[in-house]
Amino acid sequence: MKHFVPLYFLCCLSFQVAKAQRNCASHEYLQQQLQRDPLLAQRIAAIESFQGRDVMLNGAEAPTPAVIKIPVVVHVLFNTSGQNISDAQIKSQIDVLNKDFRRLNTDTVNTPLMFKHLAADCQLQFELAKIDPDGRATTGITRKATSIMMYGLDDRIKFTSKGGLDAWDPDRYLNIWVGNLAGGLLGYASTLGCDKSIDGVAISPSAFGTIGAAGAPFNGGRTATHEIGHWLGLRHIWGDSYCGDDQIDDTPPQRSATRKCPTGVIITCENNPYGDMYNNFMDLTDDACMNLFTAGQRNKMRQLFQPGGVRHALLSSNALTATPITDPVRPIEEPVVLASNTVKVYPNPAITTITIEGKDGELVGKTVTIRNHLGQLAVQAKITKGNMPISVQHLRDGMYFIRIEGSGEVIKLLKGK
């Protein structure tokens, strides 16, 4: 229910505590992000203002196509074999998302009668990506064995250099990281307006999908449904404060989070006669109790795909439709050969920095280029000293090709552990 209170969106962090119920540490995570990025609050306010505009899904402002397809990449980080979840478990989660966001979930029969007329098909569809950022065919799943036993709220899971995996371009993909989260943490979503390198959701393998490592009462795939709701701009149904404002007109006011799986009418915040909408995906009940988004929530999420919205670029993603590239494209240059064996590059493989070493300063003043396997320029720098360090920390793991101006030699560089 809207009360027009100027509250900032708080991104959710769901915890599994001793009694197997969800909790939320939204405030801690948001404060952490605000400290890192002083301009984040302004961006959140601007996005919420845009997202709060009237939306007419069947009118002139309706985004096209009617059903929006969102390419997904799932990054699996595992310290034990049990955390290396199967493709089948991942696909079970995608199946849940498509049912929940299209209101095709079988438990719609459990939506209370007084709320059924408000329940909505959000017309959002999720599909594992078929094309990776380099244009090659992919299953939409990446995997990495890691020495890290647990990930916390510091977003290490989202960076290859910190033991996680780098995000794929969030203008083309929804990034989902699946890894062992500390302290019973079930999952969390990035804040709208955040840096692109951390854009997406992180989920524990024990709360992802419906089979394999997923465990009751969070084995219905609803943690990801809830977190993606946040990723698309929804607040908790109680507005993250006592009888607060979730900025949605058709959700009743509610005192606070609902736990476990209640029944009957629960009256709070003078929301009689119908009471709390604890079956909403944006409450904190068990998976078995969640079964609806409202029309207002649907409109708010889809507004982000309008021109000017932070998710609009996803409509142009070719990650589901492009023809994959099969052969690497090498850079074509006319070499002027230097003396042989004049260039050394180390370490190789590299993680953060390489050093380019030339004989007797012969390379100083020349340009070094690093290209990926498609021939796309990744790094270009002027060599200023005999032992020249170059950062490759920002590069994705994979094979690269190094050339020095005036040299016919191509040096292969492997980025990653």
- Do 263 and 171 fall within a single domain? yes
Range in 32-41, 254-263, 295-304 the model is least confident about: 32-41
- Do 281 and 378 fall within a single domain? no
Higher per-residue pLDDT: 332 or 174: 174
Reply yes or no on whether the pLDDT at 236 is more than 50.
yes
- Do 300 and 374 fall within a single domain? no
Give the type of residue at 297.
Q
Q: Is 334 contained in some domain?
A: no
Q: What number is the average pLDDT over the span 402-410?
A: 81
| Predicted pLDDT at 14 | 58
Q: What number is the average pLDDT over the span 365-387?
A: 85
| Predicted pLDDT at 341 | 57
| Predicted pLDDT at 228 | 96
Q: Is 167 contained in some domain?
A: yes
- Do 40 and 149 fall within a single domain? yes
- Do 302 and 194 fall within a single domain? yes
> Which residues are CB-neighbours of 211 under 8 A, at least 6 positions away?
86, 88, 89, 92, 219
Reply yes or no on whether the pLDDT at 63 is more than 60.
no
- Do 312 and 347 fall within a single domain? no
DSSP 8-state secondary structure symbol assigned to residue 409: -
Q: Tell me the angle at which helices 40-51 and 26-36 cross, rounded to the nearest 10 degrees.
A: 120
Q: What number is the average pLDDT over the span 322-338?
A: 56
Range in 128-137, 232-241, 332-341, 364-373 the model is least confident about: 332-341
Q: What number is the average pLDDT over the span 60-88?
A: 87
Q: Is 52 contained in some domain?
A: yes
| Predicted pLDDT at 376 | 78
pLDDT digit string, tens, across residues 88-98: 999 999 999 99
Range in 72-76, 154-158, 348-352 the model is least confident about: 348-352
Cis peptide before 347 (omega within 30 of 0): yes
Domain count, the chain: 2
Q: What number is the average pLDDT over the span 172-187?
A: 94
Average predicted confidence (pLDDT) for the chain? 86
| Predicted pLDDT at 277 | 97
Reply yes or no on whether the pLDDT at 17 is more than 90.
no
| Predicted pLDDT at 18 | 41
- Do 278 and 385 fall within a single domain? no
The pLDDT > 90 percentage for the chain reads 61
CA–CA separation, 150 vs 134, rounded Å?
30
Q: Domain of 384: which CATH number?
A: 2.60.40.3580
Residue span of the structural domain in which 302 resides: 13-316
Active site residue 227: yes
Whether the CB-CB separation of 350 and 160 falls below 8 Å is answered with no
Considering 227, 333, 334, 405, which one is annotated as catalytic?
227
pTM of the shown model: 0.75
| Predicted pLDDT at 33 | 81
Q: Domain of 243: which CATH number?
A: 3.40.390.10
